[in-house]
Structure 1
Amino acid sequence: MIRSRRLCMLALPLLLLSAPAHAWLTRVDGPVNGGFENGEQGGPPTGWVIPTTGTTVELVREGAEQGERFARLRFDGSGQIGNLMQSFDATPFRAKKVALRASVRIKEGADNGGHVWMRVDRRDDKRGFFDNMGGRPIKSRSWTQIEIKGDVADDALTINVGAFLTSAGVLDIDDLRLEIVSDAAVVTREAARPLEGRAEENLRALARLVGYVRHFHPSDAAAAADWDAFTISAVRRVESAQSAQELADRLNELFTPIAPTVQVFPTGTTEPTIHPAVRTAPGTKSQFIREYRHVGCGQKTAGQSIYSSRRVRHELPPDEAVPVEHDPAQGLWRAEIGGGLTCIVPLRLWADERGTLPVSEHKPGESAPGGGFTADDRATRLAAVILGWNVMQHFYPYFDVVRCDWHATLGESLRSAANAADECAFYDVLQRMTADLHDGHVWVSHTCGGNNALPPITTRWVEGRLVVTQVASAEGAPVADGAENLVRPGDAIVSIDGVDTKAAMERTESLISGAPQWRRWRAQSEVLRGRFDTPLTLELENLEGQVRTVTLSRSGGGMASATLPEIRPEPIAELREGILYIDVERATDKEFAALGERLNTAKGIIVDVRGYPRSNVFATLLQRLAPSVLRSPQWHVPTPARPDRIGLTFQQSGWPVQPLAPRLTARVAFLTDGRAISAAETFMAIVAHYKLGEIIGAPTAGTNGNVNSTMLPGGFAFSWTGMKVLDHNGGVHHGVGVLPTIPMTPTRRGVAEGRDELLEKAIDVVSK
């Protein structure tokens, strides 16, 4: 599997929201010092702040794109991102469409780790426009100009702009400016109301047809359509249809301009004659056939991806017979779509030099309702459900494993979306919808996901209870007396803001997608999250059974969105003579290479995989442990030729791990648990299959495969697993994970005593 940086697309919008803008607000008409001419040479630019760890910025004189100097952002990879930003008053830009422009280049590091971003903050802690170039990272090694366009709400308070790196590297930035382009689009905000009468079945029928035409009907107009705008407009048009015939008429009216050969009619009535453009070849000198070829779900916003969806064409001279496998007349998709309707959707079309036939006069964008999109609008919410549901319906590779009733999920999500009070209520709707996928790669992203501050403690589910495992020191704790004076490791949390902890955990887990071990791992910190500077009241029980109530603050500035780092040895350490410890989440390639002969002569090696590998250390270790060529698990990318995953086929692949001399002969133990996901599981599956050492701990997350991502109207996005991964023997990995050979979890007593019981066990295992 190609290691995916899920944070880039989905978690980062949350991280960038984690710091309150008022701390850095500058009352000016736009960004300060966007040309980076002011500031001490070699130091940070005037007017900008660095809210992240492991990040430095210096002003460089030689080679500026504009003016005399530019900013060089350097990130060492030790944090989650390296961010440079500033905030300023939004008043001059209210109700305007603006463009943020900058000259940028990647100087060092990965070609997809650099981003520029803009976020608008509105009144009452609401979020407005947001874009962090999640699907279009900066790749150029020479100066290039980027642009972010968006509307500033009429109640906007603050505009935040900046640049960040998601992996170790260097990003150069110059000539950053914010300009007014025009008045903002008029945004429709239809109030929430329930679905009544035929509304739900009308929208279900629309949903099915949208999916068939968008993803499988190869007309030029459908391929060029603005599907967000089209679907929002269609929701408003079809919801009120009072009969099957009226619904069919409205759907035909909507789809004919972009898909003139698609037909919709009441089920049980006489089937209409197939459109002549489908039945008969054009007979021109240049004629060919168009159809879709999917390798996973390719999306325009996905950035670098192994997945693709493209229309292919088959040349066919006029004097040759049409092969059955390419004949448009033999490629008709018939399906009952609900609402008493049946549709016929050609999956292949004739085309000539003018395009697919019949040639449509429809121009992209004609169907767009006036204005932009916000999930405060009811139709936008319903359209987002329809569009997101369809991507999973046709491309999600794990329905045979999770066996959820995805059609029932559509109905529930439509009803909830119609009734959602605003975009933040809809954020929860999308989380519940995608939770049904049981996919640990699912991460719903939106500015409403800004509950991103934690109290100065870390918790973990231990012996059936949520237990405090770590407490910040007074210096690091955002509470007056220091959290260590209020809370102790080993304390069990009885209630959270007056809610029973188990009930709070169940509610939090209901919004998380994944196997039980992944949901539990995420929920044990998510359950404590909230807005910055808000109080959190906890009822605690110590080991002696004494109960007390404490109030902590969710605060701490900059990036206090991540849990406190566990107390572990150094990333690479010699715990005893000849016993090496290597943490693949924290150890760098340089540190690993520096081990030299100490690695070759080690008697025992403990590999800590309680996290996500962020370097090549784990891969290199496997090469050094390999007795011969090792193989990865099996990758299966879906290649759907027909809708609804009917006859679904897969493109299988894998990759080898070549041995690297000298081979290590030390006893090896691997520590892991439910937080080890994706690439970590790729390597752990190899460890398990080839029995490269004992595996101590708990099952891994049970989610592997390259991540895909889907953008939805209203500023939402969600990630998901785009391929099926099977273990080496073809068995199920999804929802199962890699199992330990020595099952073990921490104890509450061990937590209270500050012990790492898994590490202690590993030392014992490799010392024998």
Structure 2
Amino acid sequence: MRKKIFIIIALVGIILFAVYSLIQGTDKPTNKEETTSVVDLSNSIEQQVENLHAFSRLYGYIRYFHPSDEAEQIDWEKFAIYGTGYAVKAKNTGDLKEKLEELFLPIAPTIQIYQEDEEVIDTLNINSEDSSLKYIAWQHLGKAHNWPYTKKKIIFNETSSTGKLFDSLPTIGDKISEPINKSLRTHIPIVLYTDGEITLGSTKQSKEKLEKLVEEMNKMTTYGLHTRLAGVTILWNDIQHFYPYFEEVNVDWLKELPSFIQRALITKSHDDYYELIDYMTEKIADGHISHTLQRWREPYRLPFTVDKADDQLVITSTLNDTPFMVGDVITSIDGKLSNEFLLELQERVSGSPQTKELLSLRALKFGKKNETLLLEIDRNGKSLLLEVTYGTVTAGGLSNFPVIQESIIEIEEGIYYINSNVSYDELTPYINTLSKAKGVIFEFRGGLALDLRPLISHFTDHAVKSPLMAIEQIIYPDHKKLAGYNTNGTWTIEPQEPRFEGDLVFLTNANALSYGESILGVIEDNNLGYIVGQPTAGANGDVTESILPGHENIRFTGLKVVKSDGSQHHLIGIEPTHVVERTIEGIKAGKDEYIEKAIQIINQ
């Protein structure tokens, strides 16, 4: 009997361990292995969401807007991992308040966390009449990561300041006073007193608690779910406080936070985590979004390329040793209609409608090694069922459009084609010839990698400006009371001889984004030429990054770009003066219908 009891206990232990392993997952930011769980399974999911909601809100407020010296001594990635694991275990509101105070008061001794029905008492005991005291507060130009974005703590008093990034400063006494979940609120000073060397407000006790907190953080040996919860916390805050396009995008990012947390709590693996990141970032409609697990970053690809033509999915080029032919229409993929299959891929892609379609086609092209797809093909009215495998493919023989290898070529008498990879220095010997040409066609369908601003100087007889490029000047969180914009990045291009006399045509589609859209924006805003093809991506503005635990970097747009008249560019892009729709017959015949349209315009 005792042996049977022992066997039953052992089986129960194995089952509990299996459940724990499923919940925790196996991903980790370092080579350390997971050893313990952070989630108390006796908590309801609702309580865990409330706990993490409060932690996430405090995390962003204190990391980015509270100027204490202690906040700069913290490894914020490691703190996010440790803090989510600690806060999520709170049993109720009172317990949560205590845990949040244990986590945040050592870093920000002057903040207050309180329940809705509590009276708030200012406990900061500082002689504000002391004339030697000054004030300190954060200024942000976008999300600090790389140029042109930066942040700085500014020391100031009523009459002077040192090294400001911009003119505006917060009002002395300003606080963040916000709910952090359904039952807790916070007061967080964004201006602190300083004696010129240290910020005031800490005590001997708070300093000891900070040392203990750092010591506990450094003992961490368990990651997995902690990493994923921390990643959601950091990414949500970086976008909440620094993404510049919320006015153009239909999302209430604050209201989405509980659903992000709930999904994070049930992730079991890195793949689940990446799917959650896709789910989050899709909602902000940002064509710059990219991270390390996007499907097209896999090294294996199909032996053909595809594009949309006549509203169908069509093979545009193929390697010789495959059963596929240029012009084949793919009607279904793994039993799903092709358009439905692409729409499912678009659910994990961020950006404008034209960007989502383009990236779904790109995502289809790349996959995992030996992954197979079952394709139903329509070939001249005959239905075929063919299987294709992702493999190691040299992309040299594949291209969505008929390839022109030359950087510069006269494609018809007096009409020149300029490839997208050409630099101004390469064009310099041809400037006089091009200036007298009947027309010049510029390629933007593959994006644009080189600086063509000097070339624009030959298109105009007066100075022209680029679209307005504006970095947010941020003092307060949640995009409240924006201080203004830094527009120093906007270009002015002066005219230069010789001036191009013929027609200028620019070929484009959703592949053109960011810098390419800035160049095309100058063309559009100043009527310098014809734009032929499809709308560009509608994703302009230098990128910044959100650095997440686990070596995951999420790039998103960091500044706002609008057209020269102040109208919206984001999601709309540069719209063509002459729209081109690809056709199946054109693809079969090997035609480049964009170039044909450009030549037609020049010859009119």
TM-score range, shorter chain: 0.7 to 0.9
Does the CA-based 8 Å contact 1:699-1:738 persist in structure 2?
A: yes
Give the direction of change, closer, same or farther, for the CA distance of 1:246–1:671 in structure 2 (3 Å limit): same
The residue identity in structure 1 corresponding to 2:450 is S
Paired residue type of 2:91: Q
Residue aligned with 1:261, SS: coil
Q: Contact 2:318/2:398 (CA < 8 Å) preserved in 1?
A: no
Q: SS at the partner of 2:262?
A: helix
Q: What is the aligned counterpart of 1:331 among 163, 171, 174? A: 174
Matches within 5 A, 1:385-396: 385-396=232-243
Aligned to 2:273: 426
- Say whether the 8 Å CA contact 1:229–1:367 is kept in structure 2: no
- SS of equivalent residue, structure 2 residue 256: helix
CA contact (8 A) 1:413 1:433 kept: yes
After superposition, what is the alpha-carbon deviation per residue over 1:507-542, rounded to whole angstroms, capped at 9, x for unaligned? Answer: 211111100001111111202421124333322112
In angstroms, what is the RMSD of aligned CA positions? Answer: 2.7
Q: Which has the higher helix share?
A: 2
Tell me what 1:619 maps to. Answer: 453
Change in CA separation of 1:527 and 1:408 when aligned onto 2, cut-off 3 Å: farther
The structure 1 residue matched to 2:95, chosen from 246, 251, 254, is 246
- Amino acid in the other structure paired with 1:601: K
- The equivalent residue for 1:451 is 298
Structure-to-structure mapping, 1:429-440, within 5 angstroms? 429-440=276-287
Partner of 2:443: 608
Candidates 318, 337, 348, aligned match of 2:191:
348
Q: How far apart in 2 are the matches of 1:248 and 1:642?
A: 24
Partner of 1:306: 148
Per the alignment, do residues 316 and 401 of structure 1 end up closer, same or farther by CA in structure 2, a change over 3 Å counting?
closer
Higher deviation after alignment, 351-360 or 713-722? 351-360
Using the TM superposition, give the Cα deviation of residue 571 of structure 1 relative to its aligned residue in structure 2, in angstroms. 2.5
Q: Kindly state the Cα deviation for residue 551 of structure 1 after the two structures are TM-superposed.
A: 2.3
Residue pair 1:245, 1:265 contacting (<8 A) in 2 also: no
Shift of 1:700: 0.6
Per-residue deviation, 1:271: 1.5
Unaligned residue ranges in structure 1 (runs of 5+): 1-125, 130-149, 154-184, 318-323, 475-481
- TM-score norm. by structure 2 comes to 0.87
SS in 1 for 2:61: helix
Q: CA deviation at 1:418?
A: 1.3
Residue 370 in 1 paired to residue 219 in 2? Answer: yes
Q: How does 1:592-741 map to 2 (within 5 A)?
A: 592-616=427-451, 618-648=452-482, 649-653=484-488, 654-741=490-577
CA distance in 2, matches of 1:610, 1:448: 21
* Match for residue 539 of structure 1 among 363, 376, 386: 376
1:198 is paired with a residue whose SS is helix
- How far, CA to CA, are the matches of 1:189 and 1:514 in structure 2? 39
Alpha-carbon distance in 1 for matches of 2:297, 2:35: 24
8 A Cα contact 1:636 1:652, kept in partner: yes
The question of 1:202 aligning with 2:51 is answered yes
Alpha-carbon distance change, 327 to 582 in structure 1, aligned in 2, over 3 angstroms: closer
User: Which moved further from structure 2: 672-681 or 235-244?
Assistant: 235-244
For 1:94-150, what per-residue CA distance to the aligned partner results, in whole angstroms no more than 9, with x for missing partners?
A: xxxxxxxxxxxxxxxxxxxxxxxxxxxxxxxx9989xxxxxxxxxxxxxxxxxxxx9
Aligned to 1:512: 349
2:333 corresponds to 1:499: no
Tell me the distance in 2 between the aligned counterparts of 1:561 and 1:513. 28
- The count of corresponding residues between Structure 1 and Structure 2 is 562
Moved more, 521-530 or 492-501: 492-501
Give distance in 2, aligned partners of 1:128 and 1:752: 47
Q: Compared with structure 1, are the counterparts of its residues 662 and 327 closer, same or farther at alpha carbon in structure 2 (3 Å cutoff)?
A: closer
User: Contact 1:232 / 1:379 at 8 angstroms: preserved in 2?
Assistant: yes
CA distance in 1, matches of 2:354, 2:222: 36
Counterpart residue identity of residue 307, structure 1:
Y
CA distance in structure 1 between the partners assigned to 2:531 and 2:52 by the alignment: 49
For 1:271, which of 120, 136, 140 is the aligned residue? 120
> Contact (CA 8 Å) 1:535, 1:551: kept in 2 or not?
yes
- Greater Cα shift, 672-681 or 226-235: 226-235
Q: CA deviation at 1:661?
A: 0.4
Distance of 2:511 and 2:558 partners within structure 1 = 20
1:525 matched to which residue of 2?
362
1:442 matched to 2:289? The reply is: yes
| Alignment equivalent of 2:76, drawn from 204, 217, 227 | 227
Separation in 1 of the partners of 2:198 and 2:341? 56
Percent of residue pairs identical: 28
Q: What is the deviation of 1:382?
A: 1.0
Distance 2:37 2:498 in 1: 67
Residue type at the aligned position of 1:401: E
Secondary structure, counterpart of 1:714 in structure 2: coil
**CA distance 1:645–1:366, change in 2 (3 Å):** farther
Hey, what does 2:247 align to over in structure 1?
400
Q: Which residue of 1 aligns with 2:256?
A: 409
Output the TM-score relative to the length of structure 1.
0.69
Instruction: Quote the residue 2:134 is aligned against.
Output: 288
Alignment correspondent of 1:358: 201
The 3-state SS of whatever aligns with 1:580 is strand
Supply the AA of the counterpart residue of 1:310: K
Q: Which amino acid aligns with 2:137?
A: E
Post-superposition shift, 1:464?
1.9
CA distance in 2, matches of 1:189, 1:429: 23
C-alpha change, 1:555 and 1:432, in structure 2 (3 Å) is same
**If each structure's strand is expressed as a fraction of its own residues, which one has the higher value?**
1
| C-alpha contact 2:308 2:582 (8 A) present in aligned 1 | no
Gaps spanning 5+ residues in structure 2: where?
A: 1-24, 160-167
Distance 1:355 1:256 in 2: 17
Cα distance per residue 1:340-364 (max 9 Å; x no partner): 0010000011122551112452248
Displacement, 1:588?
A: 3.5
> Separation in 2 of the partners of 1:601 and 1:407?
56
TM-superposed deviation, 1:621:
2.7
Q: How does 1:72-87 map to 2 (within 5 A)?
A: none
Q: Tell me, what secondary structure is at the counterpart of 2:46?
A: coil
Quickly say closer, same or farther: Cα 1:610–1:448, change in 2 above 3 A.
closer
Measure, in 2, the Cα distance between the counterparts of 1:353 and 1:455: 62
SS state of the match for residue 101, structure 2?
Answer: helix
Q: 1:732 to 1:539 in 2, by over 3 A?
A: same
Which amino acid letter does the alignment assign opposite residue 440 of structure 2?
I
